[in-house]
Amino acid sequence: MTSTVYYYGGIYDAGGSYSVSVTGLAESTTYYYQAFMDVWDGSQYVTIQSSVKSFTTTQSAATASLGYLTCYEVPEVSTSGSMASGNEATNRGYQWYRFRTDNANRAVATHTYMDNSKKVRNYTVMLDGSKKAPLWTAHAMHASMWADNNVGRNDGWTDDPAFTGLGSWQQSGVSGYSKGHLVASNYRQTIVAQNKQTFYHSNQAPQNQDFNGGIWNKLEDKVKAAAPSGRDTLYVVTGVLYEGTAQYSGGIQIPSHFYKCLLKCTFNTNGVMTAAKGCAYVFTNQSGHTNDASALPDYQCTIDSVEERAGFDFFPRVPSDLQVTAEKTKTTLW
């Protein structure tokens, strides 16, 4: 994505007002503007200018209907317009929201829970029925909003209720591989029901255990420690790649790589995003990686490079001027 500069001519009337019509703007985007005018001072034209001001466009009705899919962390999703919702397995008062996509083998769901009478989004996942695995998960991290109350691992893997009725899209484990969390259990420690949602089969993919318990775990710990407070929020997309010669176990294709994309954003007192910095990490799904966290920079890359390999547009609703810079650089966030 690229930032755009618009130039418009306006109409100045005798009453001292200046007006201009602006078209082609994106929804839910903050724009900055400044007015310039050439004034004749009796001998020459002198350019005067206003201060820089801003405005934010609103969401269209179509976008608003996508609900949680418009959150900053969620990759671009092309939906078929078919939406469903229902009760979470963890608590019937909590809700999931599912959209079918333009790809018949893929659907996206957001899981929510209640915390102090407030509905909170937990994470969003794209499940691929042909792979029987998630392609990506997306969630936000903030030390207060998603607080760590140390509720522990509430193991008990189960099918994700958001994807029941879509056929045999979920697998309960693959021989020789661990159930590799995409949204780590340790990321969701606010309440027990929230943590249990990380044990849906839609939130795991076959992962080499040496890798899972080694360098991948080191990265998960670093990301958790980087959860900000105040006006910062960390947005996380975790996913898998299927590259090279396909490897199978029990008829299930094994991901060749796991990745994690991170975008740390700052907001002002009006809730407008003012800064963003990001990076990504990609690992082969195999043993032999070092177990030393100091080696993590060796696996670091740009978000842009992962987008190209995965075929998804990450963080599409982050203002384009901030997104472009953050996705083409790799800034260590801890």
Give the model's pLDDT for residue 66.
Answer: 81
Question: What's the pLDDT at 34?
Answer: 82
* Closest of 213, 312, 216 to residue 259, by C-alpha: 216
- Cα-based torsion angle of the residue sequence 142, 145, 146, 150 in order, rounded to the nearest 10 degrees: 110
Collapsed DSSP state (helix, strand, coil) of residue 225: helix
> Which residue from 24, 2, 20 is spatially nearest to 10, judged by alpha carbons?
20
Joined together, the tokens standing for residue 305 give 């490079």
Q: What pTM, to 2 d.p., does this model score? A: 0.82
Q: What is the pLDDT of residue 18?
A: 66
Distances in Å between the Cα of 200 and the Cα atoms of 2, 89, 128, 184, 327 are: 37, 9, 14, 12, 30
Question: 3-class SS at 142?
Answer: coil
Taking only the tens of pLDDT, the chain with its 334 residues reads: 334 555 555 555 555 666 776 655 555 567 778 888 788 777 888 888 888 887 766 544 444 468 899 999 999 999 987 899 999 998 888 999 999 999 999 999 999 999 988 999 999 999 999 999 999 999 999 999 999 999 999 989 999 999 998 999 999 999 999 999 999 999 999 999 999 999 999 999 999 999 999 999 999 999 999 999 999 999 999 999 999 999 999 999 999 999 999 999 999 999 999 999 999 999 999 999 999 999 999 999 999 999 999 999 999 999 999 999 999 999 999 9
Q: Of 263, 257, 288, 213, which Cα lies nearest the Cα of 74?
A: 263
Q: 179-195 pLDDT, tens per residue? A: 999 999 999 999 999 99
Domain chopping of the chain, boundaries:
11-55, 60-328
Q: What does the angle CA 29 – CA 281 – CA 266 come to, to the nearest 5 degrees?
A: 35
Instruction: For the chain, report the end-to-end CA distance as a whole number of angstroms.
Output: 26
Q: Are strands 133-141 and 178-181 parallel, antiparallel or unpaired?
A: unpaired
Q: Which residue has the tokens 């994309």?
A: 261
Of the candidates 18, 243, 246, 237, the one whose C-alpha atom is nearest the C-alpha of residue 141 is 237
Q: What integer pLDDT is reported at residue 283 of this predicted model?
A: 98
User: What pLDDT was estimated at residue 6?
Assistant: 52
- pLDDT value at residue 65: 66
CB-CB contact of 263 with 330 (8 Å): no
pLDDT value at residue 62: 42
In this prediction, residue 81 carries a pLDDT of 76
Considering the segment(s) 60-328 as one domain, its CATH architecture is 3-Layer(aba) Sandwich (3.40)
